[in-house]
């Protein structure tokens, strides 16, 4: 893994060596793509445009958030900012990387939550926009434009996470693939017709399930809070 991690640090170094004007862009992208934006911005907007799409965004985002946390407990994953100092692989040839306020994230890093949750929750929204574009245009470019924007957005989010040393490239790729797969598989199963009680019970079940899993893993001798 050291070889993979070292290559990721070199990628971050190359990104940070780019034009200074891009620094503001990458920091803005990583801030706007924070998973909480799914619940505070994307869900209300989608719900306003179409109730079923809004419920799908909320449902997929909720499950993706839970699965991302649980996945990190099993997959762990180093954080680039901390790994650079702990590995001591760059003592003889130091890398020129810059720290940012969002660099020092704690907790496991694989897969990237920004990429996984954003990729999953936006899938229903992008699918709805694609269907809308297909009804109003016969142009292939127009019909594919929502998914093209979706792909470019996830690419930008992934690069921004590497830029700020929050994730290694392989963690970003894993997050993007997991997010797209979750969005594709869960959107058709969104319980749009269910009552508020169903969502409250589901949320409670997910919370209790996470707590129970956390305690079980701790009891088994796994330090998931390393």
Q: Which of 13, 6, 4, 3 is nearest to 162 (CA)?
A: 13
Quick one: pLDDT at residue 101?
Answer: 85
Of the chain, the percentage scoring pLDDT greater than 70 comes to: 98
Number of residues that make up the chain = 226
Quick one: pLDDT at residue 29?
Answer: 93
For 112-147, the pLDDT digits (tens) are 999 999 999 999 999 998 888 888 878 888 888 999
Q: Which residues are catalytic?
A: 114, 167
Confidence (pTM) = 0.89
Tokens of 76: 């762990």
Quick one: pLDDT at residue 103?
Answer: 80
Q: Which one has a higher pLDDT value, 9 or 105?
A: 9
Q: What's the mean pLDDT in 157-177?
A: 94
Quick one: pLDDT at residue 88?
Answer: 73
CA 211, CA 214: separation in Å to the nearest integer?
5
Quick one: pLDDT at residue 199?
Answer: 85
Quick one: pLDDT at residue 26?
Answer: 93
Burial 69-95 (b: 16+ CB within 10 A, else e): bbbbbeeebbbbbebbeeeeebeeeee
Range among 36-40, 89-93, 175-179 with highest mean pLDDT value: 175-179
For 38-91, the pLDDT digits (tens) are 989 999 998 988 888 998 999 999 999 999 999 998 888 888 888 887 777 776
Q: What's the mean pLDDT in 98-124?
A: 89
The mean pLDDT of the chain is: 88
Quick one: pLDDT at residue 120?
Answer: 95
Burial degree of 144 (CB within 10 A; 0-12, 13-18, 19+): middle
Quick one: pLDDT at residue 91?
Answer: 67
CA 151, CA 173: separation in Å to the nearest integer?
12
Q: What's the mean pLDDT in 14-25?
A: 88
Q: For residue 68, say if its preceding peptide bond is cis, omega within 30 degrees of 0.
A: no
């Amino acid at each position: 893994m050291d070889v993979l991690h070292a290559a990721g640090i070199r990628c971050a170094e190359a990104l940070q060596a780019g034009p200074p004007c891009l620094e503001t862009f990458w920091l803005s992208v990583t801030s706007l793509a924070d998973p909480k934006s799914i619940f505070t911005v994307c869900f209300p907007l989608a719900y306003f445009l179409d109730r079923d799409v809004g419920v799908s965004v909320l449902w997929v985002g909720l499950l993706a958030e839970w699965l991302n946390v649980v996945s990190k407990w099993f997959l762990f994953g180093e954080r680039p900012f901390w790994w650079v100092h702990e590995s001591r692989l760059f003592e003889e040839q130091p890398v020129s990387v810059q720290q940012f306020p969002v660099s020092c994230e704690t907790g496991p890093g694989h897969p990237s939550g920004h990429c996984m949750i954003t990729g999953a929750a936006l899938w229903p929204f992008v699918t709805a926009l694609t269907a809308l574009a297909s009804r109003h245009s016969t142009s292939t470019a127009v019909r594919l434009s929502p998914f093209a924007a979706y792909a470019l957005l996830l690419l930008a989010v992934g690069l921004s996470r590497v830029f700020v040393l929050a994730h290694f490239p392989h963690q970003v790729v894993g997050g993007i693939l997991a997010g797209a797969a979750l969005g594709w598989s869960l959107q058709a199963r969104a319980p749009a017709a269910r009552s508020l009680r169903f969502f409250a019970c589901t949320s409670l079940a997910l919370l209790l399930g996470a707590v129970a899993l956390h305690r079980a893993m701790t009891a088994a001798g796994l330090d998931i809070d390393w």
